[in-house]
Structure 1
Amino acid sequence: MKIAFHAPLKSPDHPVPSGDRQMARMLIEALCLAGHEIVIASDLRTFSRDASEAAFAALCSEAEREIVRLRELWRREGPPEAWFCYHPYYKAPDLLGPRLSAEFSIPYITAESSYSYRRNTGAWRLAQDEVAAGARQAAVNICFTHRDREGLQEATPSARYAMLAPFIDVSPFRELRRTKVDECRLFAVAMMRSGDKMDSYRMLARALTLVVDLPWRLTVVGDGPARAEVHEIFTGLPAERLEWRGEVEPQAIPGILADGDLYVWPGCGEAYGLSYLEAEAAGMPVVAQRTAGVPEVVRDEETGLLTPAGDVEAFAAAIRRLLSDEALRVQFGGRARHFVFEERSLPAAAARLGEILSEFVGMGR
């Protein structure tokens, strides 16, 4: 089937890497693997950092022009057989798909749509209304976490839902070679920006000061506008304990993670966190908080340890436990790798997407 794919937050072709762009690209790969032809319908980005009725009106005008373009294109060349929207939410609603799907009588599908009543303030409500209307119209809303499904279902109980677990392409992790060293190597991969990422960096730095008596070395992969502030946060730790790798190409991540022993990232506000799955695929156990969507990708006491949200001492104690028990680290790391390869791989996601589209849209191979 020919599917028009749209990601209103960030197009798969956007030049700036992020987890959102990565997941959009992997969804396209999974859909292709499931036997469908994918066309990126539009690069229109409807992201708004701040609530503003004027900004929303401007986006709607831009969307109207894009609808006119796509309508003319489809009338000439024929419409797709479905519209697939990835990650519509209050800061980036889909202003194209619902209109065009209704006009051309094709199924509308969402993936990782999210809705929260606490965002129904000011101009955000305008975008939230678009998200809710899209969810009600959708042939199916594909949810990656139970948290997202519960929030969306509360707003649109009559809509149709299916679950798809977060996944990654495991092929780059199959043939990894580790370099053995004496000290325990800790890893964290994250952009350096304000908000939840900065909160996680602060929590990690505070926790590591509580385990400085043990031998370890932390490698941080990532960069961003808050780089100077992040570096400042870690000045209380010995400089020789820290390695700053900066931004690296996505294809380099598996090789970098291959030398890790323990992945330590609090995950404040994480939707789920693809970096956790990548660390697990590399055979690393994870220490994170039991918050937001993190439990969807890390299994407590199986592939890592999850601690109460905001509890720095508990987070540090979990790091200490795994730093002090190499056998447990190896056991958790083996389970983590098996978990991702068997349950969270691209082929597994493709099979699940095939089932969902067959059931809700009637799209077989």
Structure 2
Amino acid sequence: MRIAFYAPLKSPDHPVPSGDRQMARMLIEALRLCGHEVEISSQLRAYSREASDAAYLDLSKQAEAEIARLRRKWASGGPPDAWFCYHPYYKSPDLIGPALAGGFSIPYVTAESSYSSRRNEGARKLAQEAIAAGARQAAVNICFTARDRKGLEEAIPEGRYAMLPPFIDAARFEGTPRKMQGAARLIAVAMMRPGDKMDSYRMLAAALQLVVDIPWTLTVVGDGPARAEVQQAFAALPAERLAWVGENAPEAVADLLFASDLYVWPGCGEAYGLSYLEAQAAGLPVVAQATAGVPEVVRNEETGLLTAASDIAHFAEAIRRLLGNAAMRAEFGSRARRFVLEERSLTAAAQRLETIFGAFVRRAG
């Protein structure tokens, strides 16, 4: 099939790295592994940080221009066989695909669409209505987490839904995990920006102060506008225990994970967190919170330890527990690696996508 791919939050070609960009790129690769021809249909970023009628009107006008452009293009060269929209939600709805899919009678597909009824107010209401209409129209709404599926099903029970668990390209993790020698090597990989990421950094710093009596070092991989604030949060910890390596290429991140022993990241507000899957692919057990979508990618007491939200003391105790139990750490790490390589790889995702397309998309086309 020829698939028109669109990510209203952030194009796969966007210069700034993020989990959204990474997942968009991997979805494209998974679709291509299925044998589909995929083209990024639009670079329009339909994102509004603040709610306002004026911002929504401006985005609508830009979307109308894109619709007109693509209509002209498809009128001469033929339409694609399906429109695939990744991650439409109240801050970045798909204002292009539904009109084109309806006008050209092709299947409309969403992946990681989300809907929360508490956003149905003020200037966000129009965006919410667009999300709901798209979910109703979709041949299938592909959900990455049970949390997102529940939200959609409760609001749009007549929609069609299928599950595709979060996944990564595990090809970079085909090496051999290393065993811990000397001080434990902790690692965290995350952008440095205000909001949930900053909350996680603060919680991690506070938890590490509670385990400063045992030997460990922490490698922090990431950069961003809140770098100074992040480093300040760790100021009470011994500087020699911290390594700030900044943003790294994916291959270098894989090497850093392989050289570590334990992945520590609270995950405040994480939709799911692809870095957890990458860490586990490198054979690292994880310490995180049992919050938001994190339990979708880390199996508590099997591949890591998940603690209650905002409980710094128990988060610290989970770190202490794993660092003090070599057998548990090794078993969790082995299970984690097997979990990702066998169940959450690009190949596994492509197979699941092909099943979904066979059940919903080709039948609708």
TM-score, reference length from structure 1: 0.98
Question: Per-residue CA shift, 1:280-327, capped at 9, x if unaligned?
Answer: 000000000000100000000000000011111111110110011111
Distance 2:303 2:179 in 1: 22
Deviations 1:225-284 (A, max 9, x none): 000000000011111111101111123211111111000000000000000000000000
Q: Does 1:316 align with 2:352?
A: no
Partner Cα distance (1:264, 1:335) in 2: 17
CA shift, 1:176, in A, is 4.3
Report the alpha carbon displacement of residue 46 of structure 1 after superposing the two structures with TM.
0.2
- Contact 1:7/1:86 (8 A) holds in 2: yes
Question: What corresponds to 2:143 in structure 1?
Answer: 143
Distance 2:86 2:275 in 1: 19
| Structure 1 residue identity aligned to 2:303 | T
C-alpha distance after superposition, 1:143-182 (max 9, x if no partner): 0000000111111111000000100011110024648541
Aligned to 1:300: 300
Matched, 1:238 2:238: yes
Provide the C-alpha distance between the structure 1 equivalents of 2:328 and 2:184, rounded to a whole number of angstroms.
13
Q: State the partner residue of 2:57.
A: 57
In structure 2, the residue matched to 1:35 is: 35
Q: In 2, distance between residues paired with 1:338 and 1:232?
A: 37
CA distance in 2 between counterparts of 1:251 and 1:174 reads 12
Quick one: which amino acid aligns to residue 161 of structure 1?
Y
CA–CA distance in structure 2, aligned partners of residues 361 and 177 of structure 1? 40
Determine the structure 2 residue equivalent to 1:78. 78
Find the counterpart in structure 2 of residue 121 from structure 1: 121
Residues of 1 paired with 2:169 and 2:62: CA distance?
Answer: 34
The residue matched to 1:114 in structure 2 has which SS?
Answer: coil
Distance in 2, matches of 1:118 and 1:225, equals 30
2:210 equivalent in structure 1: 210
Report if the CA contact (8 A) 1:176-1:255 is conserved. no
Q: How far has the Cα of 1:117 moved from its partner?
A: 1.2
| 1:363 Cα deviation after fit | 6.7
Partner of residue 189, structure 1: 189
- Rounded to whole Å, the distance in 2 between the matches of 1:176 and 1:54 is 54
CA contact (8 A) 1:176 1:254 kept: no
| TM superposition shift of 1:85 | 0.2
> Larger deviation: 59-68 or 243-252?
243-252
Q: Distance in 2 between matches of 1:328 and 1:308?
A: 20
Task: Provide the C-alpha distance between the structure 1 equivalents of 2:252 and 2:116, rounded to a whole number of angstroms.
Answer: 36
SS in 2 for 1:295: helix
User: Structure 1 residue 221 and structure 2 residue 221: aligned?
Assistant: yes
Q: Which amino acid aligns with 1:61?
A: K
Equivalences, count: 364
What amino acid does structure 2 have at the position aligned with 1:87? Answer: H
Q: Which residue of 2 aligns with 1:266?
A: 266
**What does 1:155-170 correspond to in 2, within 5 Å?**
155-170=155-170
Q: Quote the Cα distance in structure 1 between the aligned partners of 2:251 and 2:60.
A: 37
Residue matched to 1:173: 173
- Give 1:142's aligned amino acid: I
Give the equivalent residue in structure 2 for 1:344: 344
Question: Is the contact made by 1:287 and 1:315 (CA closer than 8 Å) also made in structure 2?
Answer: yes
CA distance in 1, matches of 2:44, 2:252: 29
SS at match of 2:235: helix
Amino acid at match of 2:271: A
Report Cα offsets for 1:64-114 as digits up to 9, x if no partner.
001000000000000000000000000100000000000000000000000
- Is the 1:192–1:225 Cα contact (8 Å) retained in structure 2? yes
Report sequence identity in percent: 69
Q: In the alignment, residue 253 of structure 1 is paired with which amino acid? A: V
Q: Counterpart of 1:292 in structure 2: which amino acid? A: A
Q: Secondary structure at the match of 1:202?
A: helix
Secondary structure of the residue aligned to 1:298 is coil
* Structure 2 residue aligned with 1:333: 333
Structure 1 Cα separation of the partners of residues 95 and 129 of structure 2? 11
CA positional deviation for 1:35: 1.2
- How many angstroms does 1:121 deviate by? 2.3
Give CA deviations for 1:107-128 in whole Å, capped at 9, x if unaligned: 0000000011111221111111
Q: Is the 8 A contact 1:291 1:309 kept in 2?
A: yes
CA change 1:316–1:101 in 2 (3 A) is same
Instruction: Give SS of 2:244's match.
Output: strand
Partner of 2:18: 18
Partner of residue 94, structure 1: 94
Q: CA RMSD in A?
A: 1.2
Give yes or no for the alignment of 1:133 onto 2:133: yes
Query: Which segments of 5 or more consecutive residues in structure 1 lack a partner in the other structure?
Result: none
Secondary structure in 1 aligned to 2:187? strand
Does 2:285 correspond to 1:285? yes
SS at match of 1:235: coil
User: Per the alignment, in what secondary structure is the counterpart of residue 64 of structure 1?
Assistant: helix
Distance in 1, matches of 2:109 and 2:146, equals 18
Residue 103 of structure 1 corresponds to 103
For residues 121 and 246 of structure 1, what CA distance do their matches in structure 2 show? 39
Question: Which runs of structure 1 show a deviation greater than 3 angstroms over 4 or more consecutive aligned residues?
Answer: 176-181
